[in-house]
């Protein structure tokens, strides 16, 4: 028991001091939280003037306290009539995460801007930046450590001897990214992007600087996707996502397939299947009704953790609404996109 407590305490301290390099918020449906992945995605929605979305993720409910992650975000196209074959995108996002028995909570707000420029008729190059503010809180009174083991049970009256100096840590965060799209034809489209998160490597710790001056590692992300129309009935959307932060890697590979149900694309059935390397198999199901998309997925754990959580890793819900301003503002730039 004491050994188990020591291991648990070490894991908690790793999380609190930032040595857990996979600490960033993330969603399996990363393509439905575009501003979190790459600020160059801000306003990158050629057929529409604006979009708003929300995401909710509940993870590891069978292993202690569940990890809950949620977000709301929105972006829009502006000044399309001021630039020749280009436009600006502006957006904002708010993210919230609550994790573990110590109620470690993370609240992040970001504002982003991107510029999109057509290169001829078939290509689009985008670059974006975002600036965010993150606040993390921990309820130290809910944590226990191996130093509090009295030989029979955990005695919370025994000092833990852990050098906590703060219950809150806050910092500014800078991100940037590039995005390239190629419209091969009315039936085929390709898109690739790269981004860097935590460019300024902000300090994150609940300890005094003399004890820990931990800096968040930069996070490098790349994605590749395509839309391929098949017989005017299906649109296949293969996706690849790779992210590296410190020594941790995350790779997600899979596809969506949209089935036209109404003949004009107003009503669509969405089927998907993804694989996160050495972690989970992720089936997805959703519908799109008049530019309102709702999708759900289930992360089935295939790693060794599956024996503890009964393969029930996480479930996730995403909602995205796209629209056009009634005045027609922002519609002067139209890209050839794959659509029903």
pTM above 0.95, yes or no: no
Residues near 84 by Cβ (< 8 Å), separated by ≥ 6? none
Question: What pLDDT, on the 0 to 100 scale, is given for residue 228?
Answer: 96
Identify the band that residue 14 occupies on the pLDDT scale cut at 50, 70 and 90.
Answer: very low
- Residue ranges and CATH numbers for the domains of the chain are 2-323 (2.40.160.40)
Which residues, at least 6 apart from 66, have a Cβ–Cβ distance to it below 8 Å? 58, 59, 60
Q: What pLDDT does residue 261 have?
A: 95
Question: In this structure, what token pair is assigned to residue 278?
Answer: 């050495």
What is the DSSP annotation of 187-242?
A: SEEEEEEEEEE-TT--B--SB-TTT---BPPPEEEEEEEEEEEETTTEEEEEEEEE
Q: Which of 101-110, 118-127, 181-190, 248-257 has the lowest mean pLDDT?
A: 101-110
pLDDT of the residue at 211: 73
Residue with structure tokens 């790269």? 194
8 Å CB contact between 284 and 272: yes
17 phi/psi in degrees, rounded to 5: -90, -5
- Name the band, by pLDDT with cuts 50, 70 and 90, for residue 254: very high
Give me the chain's average pLDDT, please: 83
Q: What is the pLDDT of residue 309?
A: 59
Express as a percent the part of the chain with pLDDT over 70: 77
What are the tens digits of pLDDT across the range 93-106? 999 988 765 567 88
pLDDT of 20 > 50? The answer is no
Residue 165 pLDDT: 58
Find the range with the poorest average confidence among 5-14, 49-58, 170-179: 5-14
Specify the length of the chain in residues. 340
């Amino acid at each position: 028991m004491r050994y188990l407590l020591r291991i648990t305490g070490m894991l908690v301290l790793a999380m609190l001091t930032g040595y857990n390099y996979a600490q960033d918020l993330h969603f399996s449906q990363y393509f439905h939280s575009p501003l979190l992945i790459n600020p160059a995605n801000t306003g990158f929605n050629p057929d529409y003037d604006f979009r708003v979305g929300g995401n909710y993720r509940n993870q590891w409910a069978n292993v202690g306290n569940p990890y809950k992650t949620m977000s709301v975000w929105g972006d829009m196209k502006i000044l399309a009539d001021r630039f020749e074959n280009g436009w600006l995108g502006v957006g904002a996002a708010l993210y919230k995460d609550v994790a573990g028995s110590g109620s470690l909570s993370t609240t992040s707000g970001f504002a982003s801007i991107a510029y999109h420029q057509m290169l001829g008729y078939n290509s689009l190059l985008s670059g974006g930046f975002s600036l965010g503010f993150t606040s993390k809180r921990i309820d130290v009174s809910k944590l226990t450590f191996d130093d509090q083991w009295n030989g029979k049970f955990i005695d919370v009256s025994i000092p833990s001897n852990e050098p906590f100096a703060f219950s809150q840590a806050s910092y500014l965060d800078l991100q940037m990214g590039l995005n390239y799209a190629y419209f091969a034809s009315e039936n085929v489209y390709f898109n690739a992007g790269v981004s860097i998160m935590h460019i300024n490597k902000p300090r994150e710790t609940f300890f005094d600087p003399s004890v820990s001056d931990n800096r968040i590692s930069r996070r490098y992300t790349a994605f590749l996707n395509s839309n391929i129309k098949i017989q005017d009935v299906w649109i296949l959307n293969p996706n690849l996502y790779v992210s590296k932060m410190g020594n941790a890697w995350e790779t997600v590979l899979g596809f969506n397939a949209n089935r036209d149900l109404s003949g004009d694309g107003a009503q669509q059935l969405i089927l998907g299947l993804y694989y996160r390397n050495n972690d989970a198999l992720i089936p997805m199901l959703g519908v799109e009704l008049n530019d309102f998309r709702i999708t759900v997925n289930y992360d089935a754990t295939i790693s060794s953790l599956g024996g503890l959580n009964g393969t029930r890793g996480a479930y996730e819900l995403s909602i995205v609404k796209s629209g056009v301003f009634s005045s027609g503002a922002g519609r002067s730039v139209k890209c050839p996109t794959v659509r029903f």
